[in-house]
Amino acid sequence: MSLFRTKTILHGDDRPVEHRMARTLGWPSLVAMGVGAIVGTGILTLIGVGADRAGPAVLLSFVVAGAICACAALCYAEMATMIPASGSAYTYSYAVLGEVFAWVVGWSLILEYSLVVSTVAVGWSGYAVGFLKGLGIIVPAALANGPALGGVINLPAILIIAVVAGLLMLGTRESARVNSALVVLKIVTLALFVFVALPHFDPANLQPFAPFGYGSTVGEGGAKYGVMGAAAIIFFAFYGFDAISTAAEEAKNPERDLAIGIVGSMIACTVIYLVVAAAAVGAIGFARFADSPEPLALILRELGQGQIATIVAAAAAIALPTVLLAFLYGQSRIFLVMARDGFLPRALAKVDSRGTPVRITAVTAIFVAIIAGLVPLDVIASLANAGTLCAFVAVAACVLVMRRRAPDARRPFRTPIAWIVAPIAILGCIYLFTSLQELTQYSFLIWNGIGLLIYFGFARTRTSKIA
């Protein structure tokens, strides 16, 4: 049995009845899912981490990370419309590169999605605790932080994961409606922040512009500083569009809707990020909000806008779950496809009478809740980025392989100047990986080493037969 055998992807009615999901999502819902996934912890929380690593030059970090993600998004749009099936980069790799590559990518996606959900849950917890404090309700530190931060468990993070998982179990259409409403609230919240903070913009706050340099240098604790070091963390702020590709089997018109959702959400979010980041670093000195769990609310309080800060914190607490919803949705669909293929217990691949994968959603929620309750924010975000970078490289490679292997294949969406865009995505992701702190790099390699042991010792013998 070849390690590089490819899989024939089944579409629509070709799948067994128990594996078919309801097609309920149009392109507006997919764009909303993309914006909901992308605009979240990255700008509401990680802008503080980025400013701590790069100073005002975090603006350049946003540009670098956004450009690399844009190239990857174009590659995703081509593959998603060519292979309109759930599973994202895992499915594309299985169809194009071969089984062992698919396993590595799928194992990395488990890392990405699970840790993203955990990161956002921890970020939400920070805003929620701050909001409750503004109302005079104090959450004990032992119940608001994991062991690494001196607490016992991050209970708010666990509770919000449970709520979002319950919503997903109700059905995809219902989840999409709630998500769209919360995305609107999130955009209004960011607009309010810009409206209040931008008049306080002071060019002096941008000096020195790049106090830690433009490259990537090792600092205290092994963390990487500088524009590229921050970009490797800020990168987390831009991905989310890949969650859209996991909705292929639930899109009404996947060949059209997936491309609109992926590309449209990336364009909208890039504009939003640059405007909000400029307002943030220009309003006060970056050191005053660097590494804060709620940087935008803190900036507003520093500007004497305590009431508006409370409103922003409240809106963030309400709207951040859109990111949880999108990524928990994506993770459950990737787990679902891997279960179909035998990499996970096949019983988890069944859907209920409404076409909703309840079993795998519940298992996914329990898994990520444990991580969110015990692990600190910066460690989770950094390691999640490593898994994403691996997936992005694989998708860009799939585009190049298919352009060579099947140049005349039908492509509802074609990546423009693919032989330039895809290599930029690949090289850019590899460079960002080298800009992550060494602990993250080693942890990622250990994670995949464990994954390969599982593959050769267990999963490989259970995979489905190739058509």
Domains of the chain: 29-462 (1.20.1740.10)
What tokens does 74 get?
Answer: 């174009």
* Burial annotation 351-377 (CB, 10 A radius, 16+ → b, else e): beeebbbbbbbbbbbebbbebbbbbbb
8-state DSSP, 86: T
Question: Is residue 344 classed exposed, middle or buried when 0-12, 13-18 and 19+ CB atoms within 10 A define those classes?
Answer: buried
Give the position of tokens 């220009």. 282
3-class secondary structure per residue, 278-319:
HHHHHHCCHHHCCCCCCHHHHHHHHCCCHHHHHHHHHHHHHH
The pLDDT value given to residue 224: 72
217 sits in which H/E element: strand 217-218
How far is the C-alpha of 99 from the C-alpha of 289, rounded, in Å?
46
The pLDDT value given to residue 293: 66
The pLDDT value given to residue 15: 53
Give the position of tokens 């919503």. 167
Which pairing describes strands 224-225 and 217-218: parallel, antiparallel, or unpaired? antiparallel
First-to-last alpha carbon distance for the chain, in angstroms, is: 14
Beta bridge partners of 25: 251
The pLDDT value given to residue 422: 95
Question: Is residue 15 classed exposed, middle or buried when 0-12, 13-18 and 19+ CB atoms within 10 A define those classes?
Answer: middle
Please report, in tens digits, the pLDDT of each residue of the chain (467 residues total): 556 666 665 555 555 554 555 666 777 777 777 777 777 656 666 677 788 888 888 888 888 888 888 899 899 989 988 887 777 888 899 989 988 898 899 888 887 777 777 777 777 787 778 778 777 888 887 887 777 667 778 888 888 888 888 877 776 666 667 777 777 887 888 888 899 998 888 888 888 888 888 777 776 666 677 888 888 777 767 777 777 777 767 777 777 788 888 888 888 888 888 888 889 888 888 878 776 767 888 888 888 888 888 887 777 777 777 777 777 877 777 888 888 887 777 777 777 666 667 777 787 788 777 776 766 555 555 667 788 888 899 999 999 999 999 998 888 889 999 999 999 999 988 988 887 778 788 888 888 898 888 888 776 666 544 33
The pLDDT value given to residue 444: 86
How far is the C-alpha of 233 from the C-alpha of 322, rounded, in Å?
20
The pLDDT value given to residue 466: 38
Do 58 and 281 meet the contact criterion of CB atoms below 8 Å apart? yes
The pLDDT value given to residue 421: 94
DSSP states of 128-175 as a string? Answer: HHHHHHHTT-PPPHHHHS-GGGTSS-BHHHHHHHHHHHHHHHH-HHHH
Interhelix angle 377-405/58-82, rounded to 10 degrees, is 40
The pLDDT value given to residue 295: 83
Q: What is the pTM of this model?
A: 0.78
224 sits in which H/E element: strand 224-225
Do 225 and 54 meet the contact criterion of CB atoms below 8 Å apart? yes
How far is the C-alpha of 447 from the C-alpha of 107, rounded, in Å?
8
Angle at 64 between CA 331 and CA 224, to 5 degrees: 80
Interhelix angle 227-234/418-435, rounded to 10 degrees, is 100
